[in-house]
Structure 1
Amino acid sequence: MVNDVNWFEGRVKLTPKETAIVDAKTNKSWTYEQLHERVMKLTAIFHAKGVKKGDRVGLLSPNDISYFDFFFACMKIGAIFVPFNWRLATSELNYCLNDSAPILVGASPNFAAKLAVCDHQVNTLIIEHDDYLEKEIISGFIDTETKMEEIDPLAMIYTGGTTGRPKGVILSHRSILWNALNTITSWGLTKDDVTLTCLPMFHTGGLNVLSLPLLLVGGKVVLRSDFDPEQVMSDINKHQCTVVMLVPTMYHMIIESETFRTTEFPSMKLFVSGGAPCPLRVYQAFLDKGIVFKEGYGLTEAGPNNFYIDLSDVMNKMGSVGKPMLFNEIKIVAEDSLHAGTDEVGELYVRGNHAFMYYWNRPEETEETLVDGWVRTGDLARQDADGYVYIVGRKKDMIITGGENVYPLEIEHWLESHPDISEAAVVGMPDEKWGEAVTAFIVSESKLTPEELEAYCNEQLTRYKVPKQFIFIEELPKTDVGKVNKNLLKESYSKPNKSLL
C-alpha cells in the first residue's frame, strides 16, 4: 500500500516490541507490534463494511484501546476519524451524527442505546471489551493501494463550545503530524517518556497533547477512563510517568487531597496544565513540593500545542505559557488591526502546519477564523519585553464597565489566591449605569462576607476592577472538558439590574 503519511507503520518497524499502550484499569498492555495487529484487523473490518477514503467513522467510547485502533485504521485507509463526546445529551449527539453522517460508529454498550434513538441510523460496531475485534468474522484483508496526501482529512473533532452548535474541526494528516513533531522537538520528548491520559480522548487534549506525540516518538501511553485524584496520583507512580497533562479543575482536586501532601512523584519530569487558565495557587502548591509545573495553551483548531517555556523560567514568568514552539508563529493584534506593542493586550493569532483545514459544512465560519493562513483564536493575550506570552482571557469574556476594559482572569487569579476561596469566576452582568457590572461567583466553605472580599480586592486591584457584587455558590458549572461555563452562570443569574452601585 502506498501511504506516505502513515507514520505509525514506520514507528512499528522501528520499535515493534516496546510497550505502546497500557490500560490502567485492567493493567493490560500492548506493544507497538500488537497494536499494529489490532489496527490491521480493524482495517479489514472497515473494508468489509464498505468504509472508503473520505468516509467518516465515529467512536462513542470512554478512553480505551479502541481509540488507537480506530484512529490508526482511519489513517491507513484514508477515512476520517470522528470521536464523539459521550457526555452529550441525545439531541446534541443527534446533531453531530446528522452533521458528520458517519458510515460506521464504534460504541461501548453503555452508549449504544444513545445511537439507537438518534435520527441518523448508522451501522454500529459494539466495543464490549478490548477483544471486540476477535468477535468480528472477516475473510481477510487485501492491502490495496490507496493514494493519500498530507492535506487529506484524518480527524474531525467537535468543539465543546458553550454557545451555538458544536463545530466539526477538520484536522489533516499534516495537522496532526506537525503538532506531534512540534511537541516532541520543543518539549524534548523521547521514547523513554510515559504519560497518563485521563482527559477524554474525544477532546483534542486527550488525543493530541501527549498521546499521539508520544506514540510518534516511541513512548508509552497509559490510559484511564475516568478521573479520581487519588487513583491518578497512584497511576503516575505505579507506571513511572514522566509527563502528564491535566486541566485546572483536575489539579484543583489533586492539591486539595491529603494524599498530595504526602506523595512524592520521583519519575515525573513535568506536570502541564491546559484547557483553561490555571490558578496561581496550583503553581504554588507544586512549587512547595519542589515539583516542576507549567501551563500550556492551545485550541482544537491549532495544535493544540503552541508554546514552550523553559522549566527554569516558570517561576520567574508565573502564569506565562512561554514562547512560540519551534514550528509555529504567533502574533497579537490590537483593536486597530495593528500588531500590539509590548504588554499591550490584543487577539492572539497562530500560524503553522499544525493548524486545522476547515470547519465541516461551515464555509463562512471557516473564512472568519482562517485569515491569510492565520488562525484567529478569539483569545486575548499580551507579550512582554522578553517575548513571553500571557493569556488574558477570551475576547468574548472581556468586560466593559464604565468605559474601561476589564479582563476577568486577573481578578480570578487574585480571588483564588485567597486561602478561603476554592474557585472563582468573574463575568460582566448587564447594568444600566455601568453597561456591565463586574460580578464574582465564589466557591468557599468559609463564611466570607462581600465586605471582606471587597476589602481584599482593594489591596490588589484598581477600583473599577473590584467586583460590584459577590455571589456565593456551591459549585461552578463546567463544560465537558472542565472549563467554567460562564454563559450558563450569566443565564442563571441574570436579571434586570437598575444599578449595583
Structure 2
Amino acid sequence: MKLTSPDPTPQPLDHLTLRGDPAAPALLSREGMLDYAALEDAVGRLAAALRARGLRHGDRIASWLPKNRLTSLLPLAAARAGFVHVPVNPLLKRMQVAHILADCGASLLISGTARLATLEAGDVSCPVLDEAEANALFEHGDALGPSGHDPEDLAALLYTSGSTGRPKGVMLSHANLWLGAISVAHYLRLTPEDRTLAVLPLSFDYGQNQLLSTWAAGGAVVPLDYLTARDVMRAVERNQISTLAGVPPLWVQLVEAPWPPAAALSLRRLTNSGGKLAPSVVRRMREVFPAADIYSMYGLTEAFRSTYLEPALLDAHPDSIGMAIPFAEIMVVDGEGRDAVEGELVHAGPLVAKGYWQDPARTAERFKPAPAHSSFGGIAVWSGDMVRRDPQGLLYFVGREDGMIKTSGNRVSPTEVEEAAIASGLVYEAVALGYPDDRLGEGIALVVRPDRSVQEEEFRAFLKKQLPNFMQPSRIIWRDELPRSPNGKLDRNLLKDELNA
C-alpha cells in the first residue's frame, strides 16, 4: 500500500490494525513477532480484558512502563475499549508521576514492581495492575472488534511541561492521532517494506507516532529501550531497520559509533525534531548513512507536528524548519494577528488538540480563535514560538516567548526545576535558564542563592532524587544576590544576558 495522497477522513484510532497485509510483520518486540492479523487479535483481546474490569467509557488508564508489546499496543487497545490512555514517561520520578496520576484522575495504573515501589502512600488512589498481570490480559477469551467510536472522542492525554507550573495533559482525539499518523506516513513516504526502530519514549507525541505512522503505512515497528549508541546500532543491524527517529543528542552519539557498513546502508530515512542539528552533525550523518534521507521537523504536542523540511533542501537551508505538513495550516502573525514575515507561529486545522485536561485557564491562553485570514478557522494553537518566513515560504525558528527550555528533545518547564531546587531547603531562590548547547540543543543552567554554605554535591544529589535526568542542570551558578527588575521580580532577562555573554 503506497500512500500517494493523504486521505483527510479520520477514523477510530484502533482501525490502524487493519492497514497492513494480515500476514505482514507489524510488531517485533522482545516477546516475539506479531503480524497484522495477530496485532488485530492482540489489540482486541487486550481491549476486551480492560473493559471487563468494569471501567467506564472515557476513564483514564495510565501506564508507566518500558517499551514492550504491552506498551506498544495500549494506545490502540485503550482507544478500542473507549478509554483514554495516559502514557507516563518511564524516566519520570515519583513527584512527577504522582502529579500526573492525580491530575488525570486515573482509574487504573499499569506499571512494574520496581517502579511501583518508588511511590508512597497517597500517590495512587486508583487500582494498580502489575506488569505481569497486565501481560496476562492478552489471554482473555474474547476479543473486541474494530470500534465505531466518534473520531472526535478523546483517545489520549499526553503530559507536557509548561513554562509555569507542573506538566499539563494535552487532550488528543482519535482524529488527532489518526490524521497525524496518515500525515507523517505520507510525507516520509513510508511503505509496507519499511521497518522503524522506535527508540524515543512512547509517552511523547513524536515517540508514539513512531508506532502509529508506521502502522498507517502497513510497515513494521521494533521497539527498543537503549542504554548506548551501540545498542541502537546492533538493533538496526539485527532487524534491517530502514527508519529511525531521533533528537540531536542521540544523533551526536550515533555518528560517533563504529557502524558496520551493511547496518548503516539499511537506514533509508532519518528524522529529527526537538532541536536544531548542528551542520557538523548533518555532515557526519551523510557520511555515516549515505543511503538515508534526512528530515528536519518542528512540532509541539498541542498540535502534534507543524512543519518539515524536504531532505533535498537541507543543505541549502540547514536552519529552516520547512513548511506545513499535510493537514496543517501554518501562519506567521504579528501582534495584531495579521499575516507577517516575522512573528508568532500559529497552527490551525484538524491536528490541533482539544486543549489541556481540566485546565480552562491555560487552554484559553494557548488555544484561541484562528486569525481572520485562516483557511481552516476555528480554534488554533498560538505556539508562542517566533519564526520568520523567507521568500520561498520556508520558515525559520527565531526564539520562544514563554521561556521553555528545549533540551534533548524534551520541553522542560523552568518553574518545575526551580521548585525542586527550593524544595531542597538548601537555597533561597533559584532561576532555571536554557543556553545553547551543540549536543543537547539547550543545556539547563540553574542560578541559585544559597541559604548557607552548601556543597554542590549535596545539592546535586537532592536534585537527582527529585528530577529525571533530562531535567538535571548541567551548570549550577552560585550567587550571593540575584538581580531584580523594578517591580521586584527576579530579573530573568538580565541573568539570561549574563549567561550568554
**CA distance in 2 between partners of 1:332 and 1:29 (Å):** 45
Distance 1:66 1:27, change over 3 A: closer
Aligned equivalent of 1:60: 64
Distance 1:352 1:18, change over 3 A: same
* SS in structure 2 of the partner of residue 396 of structure 1: coil
* SS in structure 2 of the partner of residue 286 of structure 1: helix
User: Aligned runs of 1:71-220 on 2, under 5 Å?
Assistant: 71-115=75-119, 117-128=121-132, 131-133=135-137, 140-141=141-142, 148-161=149-162, 163-208=164-209, 210-220=210-220
Question: 1:366 offset after TM fit, Å?
Answer: 0.8
* SS in structure 2 of the partner of residue 221 of structure 1: strand
Tell me, which stretches of 5 or more residues in structure 1 are unaligned? 400-407, 417-421, 431-476
Q: 2:175 corresponds to which letter in structure 1?
A: R
Aligned residues of 2:12 and 2:175 also touching (Cα < 8 A): no
User: Aligned runs of 1:297-446 on 2, under 5 Å?
Assistant: 297-303=298-304, 305-341=305-341, 344=342, 346-372=343-369, 373-397=379-403, 412=436, 416=438, 425=442
Aligned equivalent of 1:15: 21
Aligned equivalent of 1:448: none
Is 1:279 the counterpart of 2:278? The answer is yes
Q: 1:132 corresponds to which letter in structure 2?
A: A
Distance 1:236 1:309, change over 3 A: same
Aligned equivalent of 1:34: 38
Distance 1:427 1:231, change over 3 A: closer
Q: Percent identity?
A: 25
Aligned equivalent of 2:4: none
Question: 1:162 offset after TM fit, Å?
Answer: 6.4
Question: 1:310 offset after TM fit, Å?
Answer: 2.1
Aligned residues of 1:194 and 1:241 also touching (Cα < 8 A): yes
Greater relative CO (CA pairs within 8 A, separation 6+) = 2
Q: Can you list the C-alpha shifts for 1:403-439, whole angstroms capped at 9, x where unaligned?
A: xxxxx99x94xx84xxxxx668589999xxxxxxxxx
Distance 1:13 1:396, change over 3 A: closer
Which range moved further: 117-126 or 80-89? Answer: 117-126
Question: 1:90 offset after TM fit, Å?
Answer: 1.5
**CA distance in 2 between partners of 1:127 and 1:335 (Å):** 50
**CA distance in 2 between partners of 1:223 and 1:145 (Å):** 24
Question: 1:76 offset after TM fit, Å?
Answer: 1.1
Q: Can you list the C-alpha shifts for 1:50-78, whole angstroms capped at 9, x where unaligned?
A: 12211111111011111233211212121
**CA distance in 2 between partners of 1:429 and 1:229 (Å):** 28
Question: 1:334 offset after TM fit, Å?
Answer: 2.9
Distance 1:43 1:320, change over 3 A: same
Scaled by the length of structure 2, the TM-score of the pair is: 0.75
Distance 1:187 1:146, change over 3 A: closer
Question: 1:384 offset after TM fit, Å?
Answer: 1.1
Q: Can you list the C-alpha shifts for 1:16-59, whole angstroms capped at 9, x where unaligned?
A: 11111112xx3721112222222222222212211221111111
Aligned residues of 2:298 and 2:321 also touching (Cα < 8 A): yes
**CA distance in 2 between partners of 1:317 and 1:197 (Å):** 28
Distance 1:204 1:494, change over 3 A: farther
Aligned residues of 2:334 and 2:344 also touching (Cα < 8 A): yes
**CA distance in 1 between partners of 2:476 and 2:165 (Å):** 16
* SS in structure 1 of the partner of residue 37 of structure 2: helix
Q: 1:248 corresponds to which letter in structure 2?
A: P
Question: 1:128 offset after TM fit, Å?
Answer: 3.0
Question: 1:186 offset after TM fit, Å?
Answer: 2.1
Distance 1:385 1:274, change over 3 A: same
Q: Can you list the C-alpha shifts for 1:107-164, whole angstroms capped at 9, x where unaligned?
A: 1222222456343322122213995335x7x5x4485997621111000011044641
Distance 1:492 1:313, change over 3 A: farther
Tell me, which stretches of 5 or more residues in structure 2 are unaligned? 1-9, 370-378, 406-432, 448-463, 485-493
User: Aligned runs of 1:235-314 on 2, under 5 Å?
Assistant: 235-257=235-257, 259-260=258-259, 265-289=264-288, 290=290, 291-303=292-304, 305-314=305-314
**CA distance in 2 between partners of 1:494 and 1:41 (Å):** 61
Distance 1:253 1:161, change over 3 A: farther
* SS in structure 2 of the partner of residue 252 of structure 1: helix
**CA distance in 1 between partners of 2:332 and 2:63 (Å):** 37
Q: 1:202 corresponds to which letter in structure 2?
A: S
Aligned residues of 1:328 and 1:352 also touching (Cα < 8 A): yes
